[in-house]
C-alpha cells in the first residue's frame, strides 16, 4: 500500500533462470559459428541485463491483410476491437531510437479511436 493506505501495483522485472541458460547456450553456439567462419577474439556471454534494443516489426501495418497484421490505423485486420500501439507496427526501426515515433503514433491512433467512437477530446479549439 502507498502512504495513504491505497493498493499499489508492485512490478518486478527480470529473467527466469531458464532464459539465462538459453542465452548462454545460444551465445556459445553463435561464438562457435563465428570462429568456424574465421573470426578471431570472439567472446560469448549472457549478461542477464535488460536488452538495450527496441523491437519493431512484429505486427506490421499496411493495407493488405495478406502482408500485414494491422491496417494503417494500427487496428488488427482480423480483430475489430484490437489496436496495437507499441513499436510492432513499424516494419523496421531505422538507425536511431524511435521511442518518440511510438508515442506520436499512439496519440494518432487514440485520436482515431475517439473519432470512431463518436467522442471528441476537449482541446482549446473545441471548448
- Considering the domain architecture, whether residues 87 and 127 belong to the same structural domain is answered as yes
Neighbours of 87 (CB within 10 A): 18
The CA distance from 48 to 64, in Å, is: 39
- Considering the domain architecture, whether residues 32 and 84 belong to the same structural domain is answered as no
- Considering the domain architecture, whether residues 57 and 103 belong to the same structural domain is answered as yes
Q: Where does a domain end: 34, 49, 64?
A: 49
Instruction: Say if CB 84 and CB 59 are below 8 A apart.
Output: yes
Residue 12 cell numbers, joined = 518486478
Mean of all residue pLDDT scores within the chain:
87
Locus of grid cell 562457435: 32
- Considering the domain architecture, whether residues 58 and 73 belong to the same structural domain is answered as yes
Domain count, the chain: 2
Range of the domain at 110: 53-127
**Residue 121: predicted pLDDT:** 61
- Considering the domain architecture, whether residues 14 and 34 belong to the same structural domain is answered as yes
- Predicted confidence band of residue 123 (pLDDT cuts 50, 70, 90): low
- Considering the domain architecture, whether residues 7 and 24 belong to the same structural domain is answered as yes
Check whether 86 has a pLDDT greater than 80: yes
Check whether 27 has a pLDDT greater than 80: yes
- Considering the domain architecture, whether residues 65 and 44 belong to the same structural domain is answered as no
- Considering the domain architecture, whether residues 11 and 66 belong to the same structural domain is answered as no
DSSP 10-63: -------HHHHHHHHHHHHHHHHHHHHTT--S-------PPP-S----TT-B-S
- Considering the domain architecture, whether residues 107 and 121 belong to the same structural domain is answered as yes
- Considering the domain architecture, whether residues 36 and 18 belong to the same structural domain is answered as yes
1-15, 88-102, 103-117: the lowest-pLDDT one? 1-15
Locus of grid cell 487514440: 110
- pLDDT tens sequence across 43-67: 988 877 776 677 788 899 999 999 9
119: Cα separation from own chain's centroid: 28
- Considering the domain architecture, whether residues 80 and 45 belong to the same structural domain is answered as no
- Considering the domain architecture, whether residues 66 and 124 belong to the same structural domain is answered as yes
The CA distance from 14 to 26, in Å, is: 19
Amino acid at each position: 500500500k502507498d502512504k495513504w493506505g491505497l493498493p499499489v501495483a508492485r512490478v518486478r522485472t527480470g529473467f527466469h533462470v531458464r532464459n539465462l541458460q538459453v542465452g548462454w547456450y545460444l551465445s556459445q553456439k553463435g561464438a562457435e559459428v563465428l570462429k568456424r567462419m574465421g573470426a578471431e577474439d570472439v567472446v560469448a556471454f549472457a549478461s542477464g541485463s535488460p536488452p538495450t534494443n527496441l523491437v519493431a516489426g512484429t505486427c506490421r501495418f499496411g493495407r493488405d491483410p495478406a502482408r500485414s497484421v494491422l491496417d494503417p490505423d494500427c487496428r488488427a485486420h482480423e480483430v475489430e476491437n484490437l489496436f496495437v500501439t507499441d513499436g510492432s507496427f513499424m516494419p523496421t526501426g531505422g538507425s536511431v531510437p524511435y521511442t518518440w515515433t511510438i508515442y506520436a503514433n499512439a496519440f494518432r491512433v487514440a485520436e482515431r479511436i475517439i473519432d470512431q467512437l463518436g467522442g471528441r477530446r476537449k482541446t482549446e479549439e473545441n471548448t
